[in-house]
Amino acid sequence: MNMLVCIKQVPDTEEIKIDDATNTPIMDGVPDIVNPYDEYALETANRIKDADPSAKVVVLSMGPEKAEAALKTCLAVGAEQAYLVRDDAFADSDTLATGYILSKAIAAIEEKEGKFDVIFCGQQAIDGDTAQVGPQLAEYLGYPQITSGIEAAVDGDLIKVKREADDGFTVIAAKMPCVIAITQPLYELRYPTIKSKMAAKRANVPVLTATEIGTSAELVGLKGSPTEVKVTFVPPRRKGGIVIDEGSAETDIKKLAELLSAAALI
């Protein structure tokens, strides 16, 4: 069983503050982390490996030099090998271009690591929240895809995925190779050990360039990115609510009804 997990280094959105004067995010000092949904994808792959010790997990990221730190974080929690796709030609790539670049990188990595049975992605990245890269990658590879997965298990030449649905959960099976996008599971992530952290720190992370993976200049960067950002803004802050405490539930409800009626909401 050979598995690849696509991961992204993102700013920790919980640490981002808003400048009241300019109404823009303050990015200075915000730490970079592994995208949480990608951590869930890696944990899913690791759990499959727990059931099959012969299985292998490889991680891949596209990003700047500093993204190597995110890959080494993944090596510390179960991945055996990591690759970084980095080239100035990839700057300003949107999700469509990113899907294309990752598909070419995967083809190049498979020449070294062998064919991947399953490619895991996080459902979405917390910095963009588009949930587009996984499906676009599947389209470029010509693979079936399953999204919103929370658990996965191998059954012969199939992989069965428990996924979120509007009215609960469903289980869908796909023939491998396939692409699976993972959302937040019902279980906890594993933690690295001091030994695994030290080993990951020493690990060599190969860098793949545009030339090495054979991308077309017309399909990457700004040229290969049809997405246009018209405007960005911070939503206006909501005013504080009203606390109703009249001494009992009955009088609280009566007071609430009076307020809603006065505001012409009921």
Whether the pLDDT of residue 219 is over 90: the answer is: yes
Gap between the Cα atoms of 61 and 72, Å rounded = 11
Q: Regarding predicted confidence, which is higher, 168 or 34?
A: 34
Tens digit of pLDDT for each residue in 133-163?
999 999 999 999 999 999 999 999 999 999 9
With a CB cutoff of 8 Å and minimum separation 6, the contacts of 53 are none
With a CB cutoff of 8 Å and minimum separation 6, the contacts of 247 are none
Tens digit of pLDDT for each residue in 96-108?
999 999 999 999 9
| pLDDT for the residue numbered 50 | 95
Dihedral of CA atoms 184, 185, 190, 191 in degrees, nearest 10, equals: 20
| pLDDT class of 37 with cuts at 50, 70, 90 | very high
What pTM was estimated for this model as a whole?
A: 0.85
Q: Are 207 and 86 in contact (CB under 8 A)?
A: yes
Q: Where are the domains of the chain?
A: 2-219, 236-266
Gap between the Cα atoms of 184 and 261, Å rounded = 41
Q: Match domain 2-219 to its CATH number in 3.40.50.620, 3.40.30.160, 2.102.10.10, 2.40.50.1070.
A: 3.40.50.620
Gap between the Cα atoms of 5 and 119, Å rounded = 6
For residue 24, what are the β-bridge partners?
19
